[in-house]
Amino acid sequence: MDFGQIITAMITPFNHNEEIDYGNTTRLVHYLIENGTDAIVVSGTTGESPTLSTEEKLSLFEHVKKAAEGRAKVIAGTGSNNTKASIELTKEAEKLGVDGVMLVAPYYNRPNQQGLYEHFKAIAASTSLPVMIYNIPGRTGVNIDADTIVKLAEIDNVVSVKEASGNLDQMANIIENTPDDFELYSGDDGLTLPVLAIGGKGVVSVASHVIGNEMKQMIQSFQNGDLTRAAAIHRKMLPVVKALFSQPSPAPLKAALELQGLDSGVLRLPLVKVDEALKNQIGQIIESFKESVKSLG
């Protein structure tokens, strides 16, 4: 399964009653596909998954798959720290026709490496869908070691990893010791180019909501051997990434989307919206970045 190079971890639009806004979800899906997104993760952290019920997640999976109309792969976030519950959700997601699942490392209960392996192995065994492992120790409190990922890659339908450890040595180790068809994606927008340089496939991105085309240009420049241009876009992009994570995500992102005329509605508690001053600052940083990329020609 080729998920492409830019996978957007999509927000979940809510209305002012904090209910899922399916109309704006459809509009967002179309917008993302038209602006550089190859695949969409539904109900990841950026989608405020901790506040979504199982029923809401399944409804979103089905809706986004229909809205994408086959133009982008849909990856369902079905992982949790409860192996049995993750298996059940994965099975239901498969029935809805999603293209793959993303499984985050179990958080809070912090299993050891053997526990992590058995957790992912059990979920992978319950489905025929391609599985992307998600390593984000800053949120989960546990790192999936390179050796564990290498071992998991031996399972037929474990096809990729979203690596958000920030550890390029660990990522290089994974790339070097897994099969050629196993793909590593950066879980940090700001590491997209370095990850490509060591043999990674692409990025599972937050910033692609607002600068997807520019990120696509950076990747294409790298692939075409224009490293100078790729590096220039990378450097100019970093303030955007910093701005989008200046408050707990996706609060800054929802503010940025609103400025671009894409209504994503409210956030669910415990997250709260950014203030107007920061919102305007984020908008200015994004616009400045877009103009600077244009000036590169």
**Distance between CA atoms of 191 and 189, rounded to whole angstroms?**
5
Which residues are paired to 261 by β-bridges? Answer: none
pLDDT score, position 57: 98
At 52, the pLDDT band (50, 70, 90 cuts) reads: very high
CA–CA distances in Å: residue 111 to residues 49, 57, 105, 123, 280 = 21, 25, 9, 15, 42
| Residue 218, amino acid | M
Residue 254 falls in the annotated catalytic set:
no
At 1, the pLDDT band (50, 70, 90 cuts) reads: confident
| CA-based nearest residue to 147, from 138, 135, 139, 156 | 135
At 80, the pLDDT band (50, 70, 90 cuts) reads: very high
pLDDT tens-digit series, residues 10-35:
999 999 999 999 999 999 999 999 99
Residue 162 falls in the annotated catalytic set:
yes
DSSP 105: P
Catalytic residue among 57, 73, 151, 162: 162
Catalytic residue among 57, 65, 117, 134: 134
Show the domains of the chain with their CATH numbers.
6-226 (3.20.20.70)
pLDDT of 297 > 80? The answer is: no
Is residue 244 within 8 Å of 253, Cβ to Cβ? Answer: yes
At 216, the pLDDT band (50, 70, 90 cuts) reads: very high
Residues 6+ apart with CB under 8 A from 66: none
pTM beyond 0.85: the answer is yes
pLDDT score, position 86: 98
Helix (H, G, I), strand (E, B) or coil at 81: coil
pLDDT score, position 107: 96
Is residue 250 within 8 Å of 238, Cβ to Cβ? Answer: no
